[in-house]
Structure 1
Amino acid sequence: MAKIGVLSAMPVEIESIIQKCGAKPLSTPHFYKVWEGTYGNNTVLFACSGIGKVNAAACAQHLIDAFGVDCIINMGIAGGIAKDLHTLDVVIGNEVFYHDFNPASLLEKYYPFQARFTCDARLAEIARNVCTATPEVECFRMGDIASGDCFVEAGETKALIRELGGVCCEMEGAAIGHVCFLNEVPFLIVRTISDLADETAPITYEEFEQKASVQSNHVVEGILKAI
């Protein structure tokens, strides 16, 4: 039996799976909303952190300290960076990194002595199997995910992230991976593309936000059933 933390930034990214498993809200005064549910023999703690790296890091640490989760899965939406990605494609994280930490070499020079954080191989393999078997997922890929405290729509930012090796971008994953690395807690980032991080991003995001969130929910639900 394991305790699994599932963390998203926005309610739209997590509401569907909470309702589906009948998770119950816990009393967490003056902090993040947390719901508790079960999948098989496992207890699942769902949390909604709010947008951005600090919110996500604090929420991840809270799941570890207050609830003793054995792993954390971060799900939600992302902007597509790789040229072969399309809206509603799923990205399973390989490594996560900050695209707005400059220079990133400072993270390597000082604690924690690395600038990239690697998703758990076992969880990633489960996610690959789930995506393969899930009819709603037409296309998925493994890749490095870039995080930063900005909504990416400028061409130069997109080009920078691509140069750094990122296939998609969002605002929380690297901070969650960073916290999990410090606490030696396995983690996985799963994101569905809601826009292509370009000048059309604001319009595309509005159109696909709900659909992309539901797509991520399908994948994470499959992962929870398989763990």
Structure 2
Amino acid sequence: DSYGVSCVINAGTAGGMDPVLDVFDIAVGTSFAHHDVDAQMMLVDSYPFYPSGVFAADEKLLAAARSVAGSFERPVHFGAMASGEQFVDDTNRDGIVAKYSPISVDMESSSMAQVCFANGVAFISVRGVTDTAAHDGFGTYELNRDQASQDACAFVERLIAAYRA
């Protein structure tokens, strides 16, 4: 409210949920859902009147991301993202995949998308993949987080340039 923000681009790391993703690939969210919050809890009859528990990425930001994806050094994948307040490992992966079919999972994107929706601010999330179902989550995350973060940041720098063009 104080700074007149027109869009938020979130960058960070995520675990790959779709088998097509590999470590260091880039995941770009097209929609965002909380995997650990009952969607009905968000559909109450009070402000901000969410139409659903899923929040869409901004189309102009998605178009800019797609324009960058073809020339980026790492594979870039677009799809749904899920977020929650827990590190996802093999004990809870299957239920999340069955319910949300996300390409990746993290702990922030859906909350940020919800806040941006409530405030009429364009949003997108870009994540470098640190681990997948084929890898040990915690160990692989620790090993890969710095490189995955740098890759996501490099993608966002190009995304910003494309968005401004």
Equivalent positions of 1:67-106 (< 5 A) are 67-101=3-37, 103-106=38-41
Structure 1: gaps (5+ residues): 1-64
Pairing partner for 2:52 from 100, 114, 128 = 114
AA of the residue aligned to 2:63: E
Give the deviation of 1:106 after TM superposition: 2.7
- Tell me how large the CA RMSD over aligned residues is: 1.5
1:213 aligns with 2:155: no
Runs (4+) of structure 1 exceeding 4 A deviation are none
Residue 171 of structure 1 corresponds to which residue in structure 2?
A: 107
Task: Classify the secondary structure of the residue corresponding to 1:225.
Answer: helix
Equivalent positions of 1:154-165 (< 5 A) are 155-163=90-98, 164-165=100-101
Deviations 1:43-78 (A, max 9, x none): xxxxxxxxxxxxxxxxxxxxxx23211100001100
Give the deviation of 1:108 after TM superposition: 2.9
Give the deviation of 1:199 after TM superposition: 6.6
Residue 66 of structure 2 corresponds to which residue in structure 1?
A: 128
Residue 148 of structure 1 corresponds to which residue in structure 2?
A: 84
Task: State which structure, 1 or 2, has the greater radius of gyration over its C-alpha atoms.
Answer: 1
Give the deviation of 1:105 after TM superposition: 2.4
**Contact preservation (8 Å) 1:152, 1:198:** no
**Contact preservation (8 Å) 1:152, 1:197:** no
Provide the rounded CA distance (Å) in 2 between the counterparts of 1:204 and 1:148: 19
Deviations 1:83-127 (A, max 9, x none): 1111011111110000000x3223234432310000011111111
Provide the rounded CA distance (Å) in 2 between the counterparts of 1:88 and 1:199: 13
Task: Tell me the matched-pair count.
Answer: 159
AA of the residue aligned to 1:125: A
AA of the residue aligned to 2:71: A
| Identity fraction in percent | 31
Equivalent positions of 1:1-16 (< 5 A) are none
Indicate the structure whose relative CO is greater, using CA pairs within 8 Å and at least 6 residues apart.
Answer: 2
TM-score (structure 1 length as normaliser): 0.66
AA of the residue aligned to 1:224: I
Task: Classify the secondary structure of the residue corresponding to 1:66.
Answer: coil
AA of the residue aligned to 1:195: D
Residue 139 of structure 2 corresponds to which residue in structure 1?
A: 203
Give the deviation of 1:131 after TM superposition: 1.9
Provide the rounded CA distance (Å) in 2 between the counterparts of 1:198 and 1:156: 14
Structure 2: gaps (5+ residues): none
Deviations 1:142-196 (A, max 9, x none): 110000011111x241111211221110001011110111111111111110111
